[in-house]
């Protein structure tokens, strides 16, 4: 590795760490506030195109029809959206934000804007344009390389039935997060661990009906 590449790698690693630390303040508080997935994504899309048909919402979001229906049911049960029959096509329904849904969508969009400012406000518009071009170039190159690797790599063997995923020394080894692990005793299933909190929230929402709407990720 030449000196310049080494410096780039070090800068990239450092930026990743700092970005992760700084972005915690903008972390979504549950699935309804995540602007990129599930419920939060649907709310933001409706804020930009309220009253859209469920069919068109499926096409625009990239979410599977069954998953989107589930998400909308959850949002409806939480009082965030309403559905009304489409007058021109009785088989379809249009989806509208309620007052609470619109308020939450605005909160999500505001937090998204704040996070972007937090990361990029030091750059001029011209520098942002340049960075966008460079990132596009890097992403396109990596997509091609990863596709080639996927073709060359043999399929992964199924996990041993008596071992946790990842094998005895893999990422799910029982000592992960143990008293001497990276979480100092708070493993991923510990109630005090943030990941555990996220799982609990998701499970609770699933209860309240298939609880809807957090389900799949659209485009992106």
Phi, psi of 95 (to 5 degrees): -110, 130
Q: Are 72 and 209 in contact (CB under 8 A)?
A: no
| Domain definitions of the chain by residue range | 3-122
Structure confidence by residue, pLDDT tens digits, 135-162: 999 999 999 999 888 777 766 665 555 5
Specify the fold of 3-122: Arc Repressor Mutant, subunit A (1.10.10)
Task: Determine the Cα–Cα distance for residues 39 and 215; give it in Å rounded to an integer.
Answer: 7
Give the rounded percent of residues in the chain with a pLDDT score beyond 70: 64
Structure confidence by residue, pLDDT tens digits, 22-69: 877 766 555 544 444 578 888 989 999 999 998 889 888 888 899 999
Residue 176 has pLDDT above 70, yes or no: no
pLDDT at 1: 76
């Amino acid at each position: 590795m030449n000196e310049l590449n080494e410096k780039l790698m070090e800068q990239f690693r450092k930026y990743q760490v700092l970005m992760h630390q700084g972005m915690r303040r903008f972390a979504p508080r549950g699935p309804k506030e995540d602007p990129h997935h599930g419920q939060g994504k649907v709310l933001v899309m409706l804020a930009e195109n309220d009253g859209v048909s469920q069919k068109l919402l499926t096409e625009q979001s990239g979410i599977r029809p069954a998953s989107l229906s589930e998400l909308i049911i959850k949002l409806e049960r939480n009082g965030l959206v309403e559905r009304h029959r489409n007058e021109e096509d009785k088989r379809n329904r249009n989806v509208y934000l309620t007052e609470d849904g619109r308020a939450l969508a605005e909160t999500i969009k505001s937090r998204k804007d704040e996070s972007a400012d937090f990361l990029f406000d030091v750059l001029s518009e011209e520098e942002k344009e340049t960075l966008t071009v460079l990132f596009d170039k890097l992403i396109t190159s990596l997509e091609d390389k990863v596709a080639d690797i996927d073709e060359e790599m043999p399929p992964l063997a199924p996990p041993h039935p008596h071992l946790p995923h990842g094998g005895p020394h893999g990422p799910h080894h029982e000592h992960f997060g143990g008293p001497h692990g990276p979480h100092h005793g708070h493993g991923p299933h510990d109630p005090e661990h943030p990941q555990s909190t996220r799982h609990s929230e998701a499970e609770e929402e699933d209860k309240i009906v298939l609880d809807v709407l957090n389900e799949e990720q659209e485009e992106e």
